Amino acid sequence: MTTDQVNIDEELIPILRQVSDPEIPVLSILDMGVVRKAIVVDEVVEVSITPTYSGCPAMDVIGEDITAALAHAGYQAKVNLVLSPAWTTDWITPEGRKALLAYGIAPPLTATADKKALLGGEQLVKCPQCGSANTEMLSQFGSTACKALFKCKECQEPFDYFKCLT
Amino acid sequence: MKDNLIQYILGIADNSLILGQRLGELTGHGPAPEIDIAITNISLDLFGQVRSYFQYAAQLSDKDITEDDIAFLRTEREYVNVLLVEQPNTDFGYVITRQFLFDQFHYLLLSALQQSTDATMAAIAKKSIKEVSYHKRFSADWMKRLGDGTKESNQRVQQAVNDLWGYTNELFMLTDADKQAIAEGIGVDVTLFKKEYYENVAAILEEATLEVPTQAFFQKGGKEGVHTEHMGYLLADMQYMQRTYPGMKW
């Protein structure tokens, strides 16, 4: 794991890697950075997950999927939701960013660049389809709470941009 | 002390619950798809934050209750949101102005709440403020766009500002629960940033070529459970499912 403050037992990583975000099926919850803890205590896996956004409806499903995946591997699990420290897009791993891009979602920029793109209208977000930076923001809010809606002026395709949250 | 904390939590969370419900009414009815999505997203953020607060309140309570009981099964007098957030979606100017006047307050409140001595409240504030900074940006941008837009948009948003202005002062009134929570280091003394609030609001209104109202008469009551006539209709809509099918779950 490249993210800090994470405590996950080595043996559980392959199991948790199979669980993905229901909204973005190509993205493992590990690459998303929402799993903060997964350790075996007295034969029960204690898992802590943190929401990307408070109202993210995917969290309940992710919790159930984790329990199911662990049960399938013979583990009993106890999943709880933690709010602190609050999730940031910096916890998305490089693999996660690649997966987002391949799926057609522009990964988050740095906090400064994000501000320039969303507020200053600077063309910093590249189209995940054709790679052009000739893009414009259509809406600060996109198909889910974590995304903004953009349009590529080269290939004319609309696309989602994963907003920076730091 | 525990009962006071629960009451303090409701004082914060009810604002987000009722505003979230108002915004939710616009789902599928926004003036343009992008705005519809934005408003729905803001509503979802607020509901998410409310869930964290209500889960905590339910956990603190001696009664066997859940977040849903708190959200859906209280009577009108038991909701302690400010009057501002229950005001209806008269037109887009009102929707944005209500949001703007609340977001500016909400951001300052959460900034301070991050320092709460109550770890859960501080954690919720730290999580929520990231979302609210997007809300604040959205509503301030639209104030400028409408105010500095056409003659028609300017007049209508000015009308909304004038009408809703009288509800802003209540944001800074302290209830008994507030006072006790402040004394315990858990709560935020909102009066400390009242001046900053009105300065920030005035600066954006000015940029939006809108006039800052000078009226001195302000409405109050929501924080004590005394609501405007709009509240009953809102609750009837919001509580319908839980009242009709008690204990219903998705």
Q: Kindly report which listed range (A108-112, B25-29, B204-208) carries the lowest average pLDDT score.
A: A108-112
The pLDDT mean for chain A works out to: 90
Whether residue B141 is predicted with pLDDT greater than 80 in this model: the reply is yes
pLDDT exceeds 70 at position A129: yes
Q: Rounded to an integer, what distance in angstroms lies between the CA atom of residue A36 and that of residue B224?
A: 40
Rounded to a whole number, what is the distance in Å from the CA of A84 to chain B's nearest CA?
A: 5
Assess whether pLDDT exceeds 90 at residue B98.
yes
User: Structural domain tally of chain A?
Assistant: 2
Out of A61, A91, A121, a domain closes at A91
A69 lies in the same domain as A25? yes
How far, in Å, CA of A87 to CA of A100, rounded? 17
- Residue A96 in any domain: the answer is no
Look at residue A113 in the predicted model and tell me its pLDDT: 84
Residues B181-200, mean pLDDT to the nearest whole number: 98
Arithmetic mean of pLDDT, B179-190:
97
How do beta strands A24-28 and A20-21 pair?
antiparallel
pLDDT of residue B30: 87
Nearest CA to A32 out of A1, A54, A61 is that of A1
pLDDT mean over B170-195: 98
Which has more confidence, A83 or A5? A83
Same domain, A11 and A78: yes
Distance CA B33, CA B28 (A): 8
Q: Report yes or no on A136 lying in a domain.
A: yes
The stretch B75-96 carries a mean pLDDT of 98
Provide the pLDDT confidence category of residue A4 given band limits of 50, 70 and 90: low
- Residue A138 · residue A119 · CB < 8 Å: no
Number of CB atoms found within 10 A of residue A41's CB = 8
Q: Do A85 and B130 touch (CB under 8 A)?
A: no
Residue A97 lies in a domain: no
Higher per-residue confidence, A14 vs A5? A14
Q: Which of A36, A137, A141, A165 to mutate to test the interface with B (most CBs of B within 10 A)?
A: A141
The reported pLDDT for the residue numbered A12 is 95
Query: Which residue is closest to B43 within chain A, CA to CA?
Result: A55
How much is the pLDDT for A114? 84
Cα–Cα distance for residue pair B2/B16, rounded to 1 Å: 22
* Chain-chain contact of A149 with B35 (C-beta, under 8 angstroms): no
Please indicate, yes or no, whether residues A110 and A86 belong to a single structural domain of this protein.
no
Asked if residue A36 belongs to a domain, the reply is yes
Interface test with A, best of B16, B17, B44, B50 (most A CBs within 10 A): B44
In B, which residues are within 8 Å of A163 by CB distance? 134
Q: Are residues A38 and A78 in the same domain?
A: yes
Q: Is residue A98 part of a domain?
A: no
Q: Among A70, A91, A112, identify where a domain stops.
A: A91
Are A47 and A79 within one domain? yes
Q: What is the pLDDT of residue B233?
A: 97
Q: What residue of B is the nearest CA neighbor of A137?
A: B34
Query: Burial, A42: exposed, middle or buried (Cβ in 10 Å; 0-12, 13-18, 19+)?
Result: exposed
Q: Phi and psi (nearest 5°) for B87? A: -65, 140
Report the predicted TM-score, pTM, of the whole model to 2 decimal places: 0.91
What's the whole-number average pLDDT of chain B? 96
Contact assignment for B44 to A149 by CB distance below 8 Å: no
Does the pLDDT of residue A5 top 90, yes or no? Answer: no
3-state secondary structure of B205: helix
Q: How confident is the model at residue A1 (pLDDT cuts 50, 70, 90)?
A: very low
HSE-up (13 A, CA, CB side) for residue A4: 5
Q: What φ, ψ does residue B65 adopt, rounded to 5°?
A: -125, 160
pLDDT at A111 over 90: no
What residues contact residue B179 under an 8 Å CB cut-off, 6+ apart? none
Whether A143 contacts chain B with CB within 8 A = yes
Pick the CATH number of B2-244 from 3.40.640.10, 2.40.50.140, 1.10.240.10, 1.20.1260.10: 1.20.1260.10
**DSSP 3-state of A46:** strand
Q: Which of A91, A120, A143 is the last residue of a domain?
A: A91
Residue B101: closest CA among B213, B246, B184? B213
| Confidence check: pLDDT of A3 > 80 | no
Q: Do A53 and B52 touch (CB under 8 A)?
A: no
Q: CB distance A55–B48 less than 8 Å?
A: yes
CB B189 within 8 A of CB B182: yes
Q: Provide mean pLDDT across the span B86-109.
A: 98
**B52 in reach of chain A (CB within 8 A):** yes
Instruction: For residue A108, tell me if it sits in a domain.
Output: yes
What is the per-residue pLDDT across B224-246, written as a single tens digit (0 to 9) for each?
999 999 999 999 999 999 999 98
Q: How many CA atoms lie within 13 A of B50 on its CB side?
A: 25
Q: Which of B76, B67, B89 is nearest to B20 (CA)?
A: B89
Cβ within 8 Å of residue A77, ≥6 positions away: A44, A45, A46, A47, A66, A67, A70, A71
**CATH number of the domain bearing residue A51:** 3.30.300.130
Query: Domain of A143: which CATH number?
Result: 2.20.25
| A-B C-beta contacts closer than 8 Å | 72
Q: Which residues contact B149 (CB under 8 A, 6 or more apart)?
A: none
In a domain, A81, yes or no: yes
Containing structural domain, residue A120: 104-162
Same domain, A77 and A46: yes
The percentage of chain B sitting over the pLDDT mark of 90, rounded to a whole number, equals 94
Q: Domain residue spans in chain B?
A: 2-244
A1 is a domain residue: no
Tell me whether A80 touches chain B (CB under 8 Å). Answer: no
B106 token code pair: 């909400």
For residue A112, give how far its alpha carbon lies from the nearest alpha carbon of chain B (Å): 15
DSSP code per residue over A79-137: EEE--SSPP-GGGS-HHHHHHHHHHTEEPP--HHHHHHHHTS--S-PPPTTT--S-EEE
User: Closest chain B residue to A140 measured between Cα atoms?
Assistant: B38
Rounded to 5°, angle at Cα A145 from B49 and A99? 130
CA atoms within 13 A on the CB side of A79: 20
Question: What's the mean pLDDT in A122-146?
Answer: 89
- Band the pLDDT of A55: cuts 50, 70, 90: confident
How much is the pLDDT for B216?
78
